Amino acid sequence: MANMLKMERIHVIRELYDKGWTQRRIARELGIHRQTIRRYLSIGRGRDDPKCTIPPPGSGLGSGSKCTISTAGILKPGRPSQCEPWRQQITGWHEKGLSAQRIYQDLCSEVGFAGSYESVKRFLRRLRRADPRRFERVECSPGEEVQVDFGTGGWIVGEKGRRRRTHVFRMVLSSSRKGYSEAVFRQDTETFLRCLENAFRYFGGTPRTVVLDNLKAAIPRADWYDPDVHPKLQDFARYYHMVILPTKPYHPHHKGKVERGIGYVKDNALKGRTFTSLAQLNAHLLYWEEHVADRRIHGTTRQQVATLFEQQERPVLHPLPPMPFPSCQEGKRSVHRDGFVEVQKAYYEAPVEYVGRILLVRWDSRTVRLFNHRMEEVAVHARVEPGQFSYRTPGSRGRVFDVQQNSRWLVKEAQSIGYWTGLWAEGVILERGQQGLRTLMGLRQLTRKHTARLIDQACERALTYGTFRLRDVRRLAENPPPDQPQEFEFMTEHPLIRGMDIYQAAAHTERTP
């Protein structure tokens, strides 16, 4: 920045110069740089002065005199620009909105320009300085407009010293300059909608229009005349009775109020501060809004922000709906072989007939819904934390291995085969413990090859032998004992069979004294 002298010093310089002092002598006596003295002497001379370095009007910048513009905006002697011969052509391209790179490329290809790209940029800066554009100030009535933008937020420093940069969401009501700030890690559509809703809940109402930048989360394709607004943002605007108005690309002055607000948050609330968590950062922003930003006297309105908001803007905001916006995310998910789909690192069970197929999943902060290709709802789950499983049957634990529960179930299955089979299964658990579970599983598989009666007889014989190994029951079932006749024929005559009279005589002899 050029040195700015007080008026008395400027008068002294001019008086000494008028008395015939040289610029070198004035600089030595006053302790001021000679270029500074030369600059103030040039400003003080009339345009008819032959020593004046400022060209008269109509002479053209750099035309007819070797002058250039210093960083302070004052003309000083120098060589003319290499772009000067093509001034009119460059001016026309600049008015059409062509960039400096495009103008440089066209100069090289069309007129054989031999200068550098930096010379073109310097020439364009002179054109802008010589002919600054005027922007109209736009003021809105209370409740009419709100402006939204994202900026670089504060640092989050974890326990191990890991630093993570955040984004700060900023919303400013155009009339009262009442603001809302929130720090986030992402700038996706869901985060953007949540920030908008939090801001409206903070204000206690909604404005009629929302002016926002062309961020991809809201405007997939930027176009001043026919922009593409994200479908969810359109639903959000209809739900809150608002109109979305994107700004023109590369025209930040279309939302100048929030542009300055972003800088205000960064310089006043966040600069030089670090935080341990996102919650701590947002708590600090909320405190700063209420105790610093709201209590300031705004430089344009010349009124306190909080007072102006409460008196003029809050009463005319559109009332909020009773429920938050029912926003949901959706995506296609493949049903894994275990019958679950993954949604944000959590797992939700689908019907078994959809294993290996693709389902459409819609989820919000509370529920997860699964749809087939005909958009028929096939399952509904409550949201669970990452790493957890949600089952279709309430209270189900899935395939969690429980020794006691599984042993009771296997013994019960064995009892359904037969009485002796149930006794043998209980003996297996008592004899072998947890290792016997697989033995009972193999016992159930025997029902595919042998009848229940044959297995029960084999278990009865195994109990007789005192064995509790499945191979023994399997061998006994494969080699059953021969069938015995149900009725026996008794012999009435045989050499070894004596008659009843012989036994009667023997009994009579024993009783005789």
Q: Residue 446: its pLDDT value, please?
A: 86
Confidence band, pLDDT 50/70/90 cuts, at residue 81: confident
Share of the chain above pLDDT 70, in %: 84
C-beta of residue 180 within 8 angstroms of C-beta of residue 269: no
Q: What is the pLDDT of residues 459-477, one digit of tens each?
A: 988 888 888 888 888 888 8
**Mean pLDDT of the residues in the chain:** 80
Q: How far apart are alpha carbons 205 and 207 in whole angstroms?
A: 7
C-beta of residue 243 within 8 angstroms of C-beta of residue 209: yes
Region 216-227: mean pLDDT is 77
Domains of the chain: 7-130 (no CATH), 145-316 (3.30.420.10), 329-390 (2.30.30)
Residue 23 has pLDDT above 50, yes or no: yes
Region 344-362: mean pLDDT is 91
Q: Residue 55: its pLDDT value, please?
A: 42
Confidence band, pLDDT 50/70/90 cuts, at residue 135: low
Q: What is the pLDDT of residues 303-335, one digit of tens each?
A: 888 898 989 888 999 888 888 887 777 788 999
In this structure, what is the dihedral angle of CA atoms 486, 492, 494, 497, given to the nearest 10 degrees? 100
Q: Residue 336: its pLDDT value, please?
A: 92
Region 123-149: mean pLDDT is 77
Share of the chain above pLDDT 90, in %: 9
Of residues 313 and 137, more confidence is placed in 313
| Best CA proximity match to 87, nearest among 65, 108, 62, 106 | 62
Confidence band, pLDDT 50/70/90 cuts, at residue 358: very high
In this structure, what is the dihedral angle of CA atoms 211, 214, 216, 219, given to the nearest 10 degrees? 60
Q: What is the pLDDT of residues 231-253, one digit of tens each?
A: 788 888 888 888 888 887 777 66
Q: What is the pLDDT of residues 402-454, one digit of tens each?
A: 567 778 888 888 888 888 888 888 888 888 887 788 888 888 888 888 888 88
C-beta of residue 191 within 8 angstroms of C-beta of residue 197: no
Confidence band, pLDDT 50/70/90 cuts, at residue 489: low
Q: What is the pLDDT of residues 383-399, one digit of tens each?
A: 888 889 998 876 555 55
Q: Residue 346: its pLDDT value, please?
A: 92
**Rg of the chain's alpha carbons, rounded to an integer?**
47
Residue 505 has pLDDT above 80, yes or no: no
Confidence band, pLDDT 50/70/90 cuts, at residue 164: confident
Confidence band, pLDDT 50/70/90 cuts, at residue 12: confident
Residue by residue, DSSP assigns 418-438 as -HHHHHHHHHHHHHHGGGHHH
Residues constituting the chain: 513
Cβ neighbours of residue 309 closer than 8 Å, sequence gap 6 or more: 173, 176, 178, 294
Region 77-102: mean pLDDT is 83
Tell me the sheet residues that pair with 349.
340
Region 490-500: mean pLDDT is 70
Residue 401 has pLDDT above 60, yes or no: no
Which of 350-359's residues contact partners 24+ apart within 8 Å by CB, and which partners? 350/378, 350/379, 350/392, 351/378, 351/379, 351/392, 354/378, 358/332, 358/333, 358/334, 359/332, 359/333, 359/334, 359/335
Residue 127 has pLDDT above 90, yes or no: no
Q: Residue 267: its pLDDT value, please?
A: 84
Region 118-125: mean pLDDT is 89
Q: Residue 134: its pLDDT value, please?
A: 65
